[in-house]
Amino acid sequence: MSTQTPTTTEAAAPEPGEAATKKTLGIGFWVCIGWLLVMVFVAVFATRLPIPDPKFNFIEPGQAGPSKGPSTAHWFGTDKDARDVFARTMYGARVSLTVGFIAIVFGMFVGGTLGILAGFFRGWIDRIFSFMFLVLLSFPSLVLAIMLTALLDRKLFTISMILGVLAVAPVGRLARATTMQYAEREFVIAARSLGAKNKRIIVRELLPNVAIPMSALALLGMAVAIVAEGGLAFLGLSVERSITWGGMIQLGSDSSKTLQNQPWIAFFPIGVLFLTVFALNFAGDRVRTYFDVKETSL
Amino acid sequence: MAITLLFAVSALTFGAMNVLGDPLFNILGPIARDTSNPKSVKLIEKAKNDYNLDKPLPIRYGLWISGFVRGDMGVQFSTDGQPPVTELLKERIPRTVTLLILGQLIAVLVSIPWALLSASRADKFVDRLSTATTFMLVALPGFALAIILKYLFAIRLGWFPLTYRALDPLQTRLFQMLLPGFVIGLPAAAIYQRLLRTDLITTLQEDFILMARSKGVSKPRILFKHALRPSMFSFITVVGLTTGALIGGSIVVETVFRIPGIGSTLVEAVLRHDFPVVLAIVMIVATAFVLINLLIDVVYTIIDPRVHR
């Protein structure tokens, strides 16, 4: 990974299986994966878990204000419409995780395909695709996302696609660089001299090699997509008529009074969003170090 | 190259706005769909004529881009066209630019001492703590950090004002921008710190550092005088490249702190479907972004003699 000279202990103990030299993902990685699995579980089974109805207004007759702090009945308190913040936070995971997942799958598929083709065929195909990536990278990502949401609708799938488009250029560049690195290697030349067609070389020889660094970036990319969705939702531009973390945070902070008197409305969703993004970033970083992916093309 | 890129960016933006969107509907509202009523038809004809909507797309693009480079960005669809887009943006851009400069300044001023501290105690407690902190800052979305800082320093402690007020005198307004500046600057500082720390650690293993140390040069002097400068190259590049991401961040920050800059204007225009404003802002931001990247390339060649070909 680094350019430093190997230390003496590493040089003196080259045997495989040595505890000191064996690369592991570390306990932090598994804690993060654990948190992510919990969030996925909650998102999938939200309707069946014993949590309150996120759209129900818990108003009792003779009560002073609709919003109450955390209690045993409502773990994260209730918001201005007396809805359960804990339940809403759990349901909010659905939009965030779905959008993040679809976006990164789309970005990987399209960006990966274009990048591999550009890196393999070079010439004018490379020039066109690279220029396309450059054009996409000429917009700050949130600006591009805002522009596209303004023009298209705000359904779950559309938002996911828009954020997927943002992932195309970075993923494509990485795929292109990696492909170019491997296209000159002996095993590709060997396959070609045995009479393999381009299609076979790309699918059987190059794709497995390019997929490793790309998959290492998948977790980081998903974090970026979830943050972007949160930003859009916070600005009121994400999926309409559904519960999102960004939307909840916006609701809890749109006036300074709310933020001052009922901080739990904004801070619990912030906490869960932060932990999720942190887990994705941390796990992604560990995976990247594990597979030794360089950030040259990012 | 930059010109071709800007042409492609502008054509794509303009095309998307006009093909995916419906400008006529955005000017007139429901009247645009009401083709049976002769009164509406008259209005539609007038609007088409006024906004050149009856001409083919390439010609409209030509008219718009020639106006744009001459500083005429058309009229707003909403608010009956007043003030014109150029006037509106002339008032709003300086605020965003001030915010970005302040954010970058804070980021650089925070990250350099922080990186020096970390690198001089590599893998010790302080370094580990600061690495954990950078991880957290990077994982915190801009709007979340904005709300946390606003809650702590403006609401609980009361050190800073809650929002920006455009009519206050200059010093007061700069002070009002300080907290938003930190919201933009701190995540950037975390990115810079990580990078500069790695480069510093590499530099500190070079022979000339060993030489300086064996001559008895003090540790702070080695860090500032010998190690810092050769470690700055990728730092400067990333400071430039990050500017684009900061423009995105400023959209959210301007919304939270009610600063009427181009970021919050973009969001308002999108919500009102005011396409000339959206188009102008997206184009200005993309142009600035492309030019900054070009500038970085030039600066990089000047400061790093190794890049000379």
The CATH number of whichever domain residue A208 belongs to comes to: 1.10.3720.10
Same domain membership, residue B92 and residue B70 = no
Amino acid, single-letter form, for residue B126: V
CA distance B292 to A2: 30
How many independent structural domains does chain B possess? 2
B244 touches chain A (CB under 8 A): yes
Going by pLDDT thresholds of 50, 70 and 90, the confidence category of residue B78 is: low
pLDDT digits (tens, 9 = 90+) for A57-88: 666 655 656 666 677 666 677 777 667 778 78
Task: For residue A198, give its domain range.
Answer: 95-242+282-297
> Residue B103 pLDDT more than 70?
yes
Comparing A293 with B105, which gets the higher pLDDT? Answer: B105
Same domain membership, residue B152 and residue B103 = yes
Q: Which residue of B has its CA nearest to A265?
A: B147
8 Å CB contact of B139 and A274: yes
- 0.85 surpassed by complex ipTM: no
In a domain, B64, yes or no: yes
In a domain, B294, yes or no: no
In a domain, B300, yes or no: no
pTM as predicted: 0.83
pLDDT digits (tens, 9 = 90+) for B137-196: 888 888 888 888 888 888 778 787 777 777 777 777 777 788 888 888 888 899 888 888
Residue A84: phi and psi, rounded to 5, are -75, 115
Same domain membership, residue B257 and residue B181 = yes
> Residue A294 pLDDT more than 70?
no
B248 touches chain A (CB under 8 A): yes
Instruction: Please name which of B290, B159, B141 lies closest in space to residue A273, comparing C-alpha atoms.
Output: B141
Same domain membership, residue B57 and residue B23 = yes
A246 touches chain B (CB under 8 A): yes
Integer Rg of chain A from CA = 23
Whether A173 contacts A115, CB under 8 Å: yes
Q: Which of B75, B97, B120 is the last residue of a domain?
A: B75
8 Å CB contact of B9 and A266: no
In a domain, A161, yes or no: yes
B143 touches chain A (CB under 8 A): yes
pLDDT mean over A40-47: 82
Determine what percent of chain A is predicted with pLDDT higher than 90. 5
Peptide bond into B83 cis (omega under 30): yes
* Residue among B141, B251, B270 minimizing CB distance to A230: B141
How many independent structural domains does chain A possess? 1
Cβ contacts (< 8 Å) between B245 and chain A: which residues? 140-141
In a domain, A37, yes or no: no
In a domain, A39, yes or no: no
- Coil/strand/helix, residue A18: coil
Largest CA distance in chain A: 84
DSSP state of A138: T
Task: For residue B26, give its domain range.
Answer: 2-75
Same domain membership, residue B44 and residue B140 = no
CA distance B148 to B143: 9
Q: How many CA atoms lie within 13 A of A67 on its CB side?
A: 17
Going by pLDDT thresholds of 50, 70 and 90, the confidence category of residue B202 is: confident
Q: Which two tokens stand for residue B42?
A: 């008259």
Amino acid, single-letter form, for residue A214: M
Angle between helices B233-256 and A207-234 (to 10 degrees): 30
* Residue among B12, B139, B256 minimizing CB distance to A135: B12
* Residue among B139, B144, B151 minimizing CB distance to A263: B151
In a domain, B173, yes or no: yes
Cα distances (angstroms) measured from residue B95 to each of B166, B187, B264: 9, 20, 11
In a domain, B308, yes or no: no
Cβ contacts (< 8 Å) between A150 and chain B: which residues? 21, 270, 273, 278
Same domain membership, residue B207 and residue B70 = no
In a domain, B143, yes or no: yes
8 Å CB contact of B270 and A282: no
CA distance A163 to A61: 44
* Residue among A3, A143, A236 minimizing CB distance to B202: A3
In a domain, B289, yes or no: no
Going by pLDDT thresholds of 50, 70 and 90, the confidence category of residue B79 is: low
A214 touches chain B (CB under 8 A): no
Q: Which two tokens stand for residue A293?
A: 């992916």
In a domain, A5, yes or no: no
CB pairs under 8 A between A and B: 131
Long-range contacts of residues B19-23, Cβ cutoff 8 Å, at least 24 apart: B19/B57, B20/A151, B20/A152, B21/A150, B21/A151, B21/B273, B21/B275, B23/B51, B23/B53, B23/B77, B23/B275
Q: What is the CATH number of the domain that holds B179?
A: 1.10.3720.10
Find how far residue B107's CA is from the centre of its chain. Answer: 14
Same domain membership, residue B57 and residue B130 = no
Same domain membership, residue B156 and residue B26 = no
8 Å CB contact of A139 and B289: yes
Same domain membership, residue B15 and residue B109 = no
Instruction: Please name which of A210, A215, A245 lies closest in space to residue A231, comparing C-alpha atoms.
Output: A245
Same domain membership, residue B94 and residue B65 = no
Q: How many CA atoms lie within 13 A of B148 on its CB side?
A: 17
Q: Under 8 Å CB-to-CB from B171, ≥6 apart: which residues?
A: none
Same domain membership, residue B211 and residue B108 = yes
pLDDT in the model for residue A104: 92
Same domain membership, residue B116 and residue B41 = no
In a domain, A44, yes or no: no
Whether B241 contacts B249, CB under 8 Å: no
